[in-house]
Structure 1
């Protein structure tokens, strides 16, 4: 049963991820954690695979600083880089490691980002409307809600939040900001709730959940970054190398599912009796569909409830 770490941070599906990635690192090699966060997964992999080294990537300077302290005992087995995960090719070039044995992308928010009120990710507390994973640059959530017109606001709420009341919420935001710009999450949450019909507010979770998800994705260009990461990670895998992705909402998971399905499918016509080696799939699926956390883990770590895990492996070609 998964137990909380001494720090209170509980990495999602850490035992299963370690079980699935460890075979690729049995003879050593490089493990890339594309979303290092507080380093929970990385520590588990390094402990389970004493011959492996870590290339840790995170766009959040605060997370990297904490991870650097927590990983200090591993010495030169660890190299950390401040970058967005779609910059994987550049990171590996700088590291001098063109091919790696295992890669993990945990696409959820880190505990650090959720728990630090001033970061503005949580809709349950009143905080500045920031939501940037890279705090030193880029537009904030306040910039989005205060400058996008109603049409564009509705577009991102539908596309990134799958919010069925996107038009109503967008119009209410534009109307309310005319008298006073939005600066904190508390006022935005109230406006969102007022825009949603009362009957719908009582079901489907917190009324601001989908809007906050959409704003976070827009601010951090998360789906664009994921679109760049997926082919780059597959290309970086050595033979028998494995790539694991933890997704937390359907938009991410659909992208991963589609990419993995294409990579693990032969490119020859279906009626071809013998598939030439050049047209054979270069990868095969390790997991059947998306694996989910068990009830025991969800009871310890409610944040794991929406997680979906998929793993793919590069074929060993003669």
Structure 2
């Protein structure tokens, strides 16, 4: 099995985490273990890396890749279940954590996984292949109004109604079974100039369906808050996001947790009692260098935000 995994902004992530060689670190989205392996190289025998992923392929590949390291723990789980993972392994506090919210290159490039509109495959898009809900169910059985809402909210697709109308028309004739079938239906609903201009006219719809299938935005804010609560003083949390929906959530949580008072501006005296727990390492998101984008175009939309526990 090949993963084709290029860890995004590897140097910037490592600098952001400011690794303590004896520390405990979480890679909450293990993927191909590109970031994890570099973190392990910076740890001594007293340090520990915990890698979490819900994709069986990622677990198998990463276990093999990291087999030479004894100070690691690989767990199959959704990163939003990180509290359970830490509780089960009696981890009280951590020195740092990384969340890479991007879909892995392996998932995109493997047509059988059904993530890409560029490759033929059954509509699937499940990161955890054991879960029941797949893109097939979303596309073929979701009510029309719910599909429109998903495309608007998760894909920010301005042609959501037209696209969903075409989907509903087609699924009345026969089920929509493959990625390329869905791509053709999407493009049939769009003005020609949009198709030619964007080059990836199906991207927003595929993104929206993928987010729905995997619950990618569910509990993201509460998970970030939990990880911040588990950081030791001086510990750091680094988050890589790849679209505006994710980044807005990350930015909002980080802003809230780095602010002392959350009272409305007109209130003369603070009554909320909120105290900041983190400081922003970078006020503006870090983006990939021009050289990295040239070598790995998938790094282009990435934004890295890092915070440190006070």
Report the TM range for the smaller structure's normalisation: over 0.9
- In the alignment, which residue of structure 1 is the partner of 2:60? 65
8 A Cα contact 1:11 1:40, kept in partner? yes
Q: 1:292 aligns with which of 269, 279, 287?
A: 287
8 A Cα contact 2:148 2:161, kept in partner? yes
Instruction: State the SS of the aligned residue for 1:224.
Output: coil
Distance in structure 1 (CA, Å) of the matches to 2:147 and 2:268: 51
Distance in structure 1 (CA, Å) of the matches to 2:59 and 2:193: 43
Q: 1:122 aligns with which of 100, 111, 116?
A: 116
- In the alignment, which residue of structure 2 is the partner of 1:17? 13
- In the alignment, which residue of structure 2 is the partner of 1:3? none
Structure 2 residue runs without a partner (length 5+): none
8 A Cα contact 1:86 1:232, kept in partner? no
8 A Cα contact 1:243 1:313, kept in partner? yes
Instruction: State the SS of the aligned residue for 2:180.
Output: helix
Distance in structure 2 (CA, Å) of the matches to 1:289 and 1:168: 36
Distance in structure 2 (CA, Å) of the matches to 1:56 and 1:31: 9
Are 1:33 and 2:27 counterparts? yes
- CA shift at 1:205, angstroms? 3.5
The range that moved more, 92-101 or 227-236, is 227-236
Distance in structure 2 (CA, Å) of the matches to 1:126 and 1:7: 19
CA RMSD of aligned residues (A): 2.0
8 A Cα contact 1:18 1:48, kept in partner? no
Residues 227-266 of structure 1 mapped to structure 2, 5 A cutoff: 227-266=221-260
Instruction: State the SS of the aligned residue for 1:131.
Output: coil
Are 1:303 and 2:298 counterparts? yes
TM-score by length of 1: 0.92
Q: 2:38 aligns with which of 39, 44, 51?
A: 44
Instruction: State the SS of the aligned residue for 2:198.
Output: coil
Tell me: CA distance 1:280–1:228, structure 2 relative to 1, closer, same or farther (3 Å). Answer: closer
Distance in structure 2 (CA, Å) of the matches to 1:274 and 1:181: 60
- CA shift at 1:149, angstroms? 1.8
- In the alignment, which residue of structure 1 is the partner of 2:69? 74
Residues 1-318 of structure 1 mapped to structure 2, 5 A cutoff: 8-22=4-18, 25-50=19-44, 51-75=46-70, 77-267=71-261, 279-315=274-310
Deviations 1:88-127 (A, max 9, x none): 1100011211210000000001122112110001110111
Tell me: CA distance 1:191–1:128, structure 2 relative to 1, closer, same or farther (3 Å). Answer: same
Instruction: State the SS of the aligned residue for 1:241.
Output: strand
For these two proteins, the number of residue pairs brought into alignment is 306
TM-score by length of 2: 0.94
Tell me: CA distance 1:29–1:275, structure 2 relative to 1, closer, same or farther (3 Å). Answer: farther
Distance in structure 1 (CA, Å) of the matches to 2:21 and 2:275: 27
Distance in structure 1 (CA, Å) of the matches to 2:250 and 2:262: 22
- CA shift at 1:225, angstroms? 3.9
Tell me: CA distance 1:271–1:28, structure 2 relative to 1, closer, same or farther (3 Å). Answer: farther
8 A Cα contact 1:38 1:67, kept in partner? yes
- CA shift at 1:142, angstroms? 0.7
Deviations 1:116-155 (A, max 9, x none): 1100011101111000000011211010010012111111
- CA shift at 1:9, angstroms? 2.4
